Chains A and B, each alone.
Chain A
Amino acid sequence: MDLTPQQAMRAAVAVPGVPRDEDGPVFREPWEARAFAMALALHEAGVFTWKEWAETLGEQIKRAQAEGDPDTGETYYRHWLATLEALVAAKGVTTSDVLHRYRDAWDHAADRTPHGAPIELRAEDFGK
């Protein structure tokens, strides 16, 4: 289950556009690194190949550009996240309904958590 820098480097090379330096991928914010690492974990679990990933991501970016995305690199990981959501649904790992339900539950969890305390998901966060 371990994720290694070598795997990360291979991913950064296999997928076009991943911001990287000589050692591997570089990120601007923590969530970008998490989104990257989740794709890596799914890839290592055999859910998709990097070729499939790159194609889906490419389509995602093309669509966004058609809708006016400035394509400055700032938005790269937003497309990455959208690709994750699309592929896990397409591969039957989960559904977009479940994704929405969890998103709302996290929103609820954040709302009841005092600033500074770790935000944790509880059963009560899932509304009816």
Chain B
Amino acid sequence: MSDHDHDHHGHHHHHDHEHSELSETELRVRALESILTEKGYVDPAALDLLIDLYEKKIGPRNGVRVVAKAWSDPAYRERLMKDATAAIAELDYSGRQGEHMVVVENTPEQHNMVVCTLCSCYPHPVLGLPPVWYKSAPYRSRAVSDPRGVLRDFAVTLPDITKIRVWDSTAEIRYLVLPMRPEGTEGWSEQQLAELVTRDSMIGTGLPKQPSEAA
């Protein structure tokens, strides 16, 4: 039995993305950065350094709200699984145009993990900026060839019966993992549940916090 199902999704890159595209906004931002760099006003390395500081807080908050709501509201969970783009938009996070969101749900039988093997496609509107490791070549290649090993590096051990499925993001389809609601949280409010949702648990390289770890 295959530990993951990658090829099925990987082909999107080749058929649908012969070339790159930048949004109008991104074009303008890059134009400014090139000019300011040439003129010596901006040092791209200094920009990267500052932006890295914000990557953790930039946006998983939106994803956290989506997951906590799905855990506490079965009707919302159903809408989210059926049409994630629309269900996420309900919470007022307008994604970038053309990005289609798909939510993949963890179960005792299947653990989901998200990667972009070719670059760093990432569900920005719900998770903010990608962590540095997400963009790194080792993660991008090993997530596919050895997902269980990658999870071990993240200190995640899954039962042997849990199959791991790896989802390869594309410029058009972005995946968000819906982790399993931790046990012992019966009767918790959406706000309390939100405390348990971590960024990595929504990428699939981590698990939600346990109730005992909640702040």
- Give the interface of A toward B (CB within 8 A): 1-5, 8, 21, 23-31, 33-35, 37-38, 40-42, 45, 47, 72, 74, 78, 81, 84-85, 88, 93-94, 98-100, 102-103, 105-107, 110-117, 119, 121
Contacts and interface: CB of A to CB of B under 8 A. Distances in A.
Contacts of A99: 28, 31-32, 35
Given A78-B25, A121-B30, 19 more contacts: A2-B46, A3-B47, A3-B50, A26-B54, A26-B61, A27-B58, A29-B128, A37-B51, A38-B32, A38-B36, A47-B41, A81-B29, A81-B32, A94-B35, A98-B35, A100-B31, A102-B31, A113-B19, A113-B20
A74 B96 CA distance: 11
A37 B33 CA distance: 10
B166 interface: no
B17 to A, nearest CB: 3
Interface stretch (B65-73, B118-126, B150-158): B118-126
A83 B128 CA distance: 23
Given A21-B57, A28-B58, A28-B59, A41 B17 contact: no
B19 A27 contact: no
Secondary structure of the B contact surface, majority rule: helix
A21 B46 CA distance: 22
23 contacts: A3-B46, A5-B50, A5-B53, A26-B58, A26-B61, A27-B59, A28-B128, A29-B96, A29-B128, A29-B129, A34-B33, A35-B32, A37-B51, A42-B42, A72-B92, A81-B32, A102-B30, A103-B30, A111-B19, A112-B19, A114-B20, A115-B17, A115-B118
A24 B73 CA distance: 32
Contacts of A119: 20, 22
Given A3-B49, A28-B125, A33-B51, A103 B19 contact: no
A128 B34 CA distance: 19
Interface of B: 13, 17-22, 25-36, 39, 41-43, 46-47, 49-51, 53-54, 57-59, 61-62, 92-94, 96, 118-119, 124-125, 128-129, 171
A38 B31 CA distance: 12
A115 B47 contact: no
Contacts of B32: 35, 38, 81, 84-85, 88, 99, 102
Contacts of B18: 114-115
Given A29-B96, A31-B29, A99-B31, A117 B20 contact: yes
Given A106-B22, A115-B171, A27 B128 contact: yes
A45 B41 contact: yes
A30 B36 contact: no
A128 B17 CA distance: 28
A121 B34 CA distance: 9
A111 B22 CA distance: 9
B179 to A, nearest CB: 22
B125 A29 contact: yes
Contact of A116 (B46, B61, B92, B118): B118
